[in-house]
Amino acid sequence: MSTFKLDSLLGRLWADFTTLNPQAQEIHALLERRGETIVNDHIAFRTFSDPRMSIDVIAAPFVRGGYVEKSHYHFAQKKLDARHYEHSDPGLPKIFISELRLPELSTTAQATIQQLLDDADAETWSSPEVCLCGRPWNPTIGDYEQLAAESEYAGWMAALGFRANHFTVYVNALKTIHSLEELNALIRQAGFPLNTEGGEIKGTPQVWLEQSSTLAPTIEVLFRDGPQRVPGCYYEFARRYPLPDGQIFNGFVTQSADKIFQSTDRR
């Protein structure tokens, strides 16, 4: 994939993300009015551990565009595995992809998810940009509620499918805001609630990464048997610190990311 096509994909991901999560566009505009140029730290995606749409499948268009895998992550309680990818162009965002380990779910949840996957058009899985295909199945509200009761992650995937789960402001690049605390105060003052699970700021300078995020606002989603309001997407903020060798830490901290996932939990 050429850089031009990669730029096009990133642009379409942002357009889809802000359509579902207009608060991100509002925060973006709020920072721009202060004279900021927003740098995107990373984009996150979710999927299932089915070979048709595994991490490798979701990552494929980015790998073709020059991204390389950097690190693996494991989330025992949430039954997730994840990897992050980086591009040699430092101006391009990192890509973080997680997948739900289906064999660790109940047999009922596994059967529901397999039925959804089987209902999707087979051409979905051969799309070169499956990460932007949206929801290729048509669940019932009952399917969503059953899955979300066992795994908020599974419920979110059933409702919203394949798209950017969140974009992330790279706090280090801001000129008028000098800490994550200061940015969080600005976000709260503008009326956007923050995820306070595990504290408003997850991480510390000692682990080289601080993160915070908005709470995903609820959006109306049309299910097979009618509309239902569910959590959509959220906007994240990341401040990175230098490692002992002076290089900025580009990875992720599992303990912090575990709490960030809860930005899309039902409330």
Report the CATH number at residue 197. 3.10.180.50
Tokens of 141: 């509200």
What local confidence, expressed as pLDDT, does residue 196 receive? 96
What local confidence, expressed as pLDDT, does residue 267 receive? 82
What local confidence, expressed as pLDDT, does residue 127 receive? 87
pLDDT digits (tens, 9 = 90+) for 233-258: 999 999 999 999 999 999 999 999 99
- Burial class from Cβ neighbours inside 10 Å (0-12, 13-18, 19+) for residue 23 reads buried
Query: Which residue ranges of the chain lie beneath pLDDT 50?
Result: none
Query: Residue 85 sits in which domain range?
Result: 3-264
How far apart CA 261 and CA 253 sit, in angstroms, is 12
- In the chain, the N- to C-terminal Cα span, in Å, equals 40
What local confidence, expressed as pLDDT, does residue 123 receive? 87
What local confidence, expressed as pLDDT, does residue 3 receive? 55
* Residue (of 200, 203, 199) closest to 187 by Cα position: 200
Name the β-bridge partners of 97. 45, 83
What local confidence, expressed as pLDDT, does residue 172 receive? 97
CB neighbours of residue 82 within 10 Å = 22
Counting the structural domains of the chain, the total is: 1
What local confidence, expressed as pLDDT, does residue 4 receive? 55
What local confidence, expressed as pLDDT, does residue 200 receive? 96
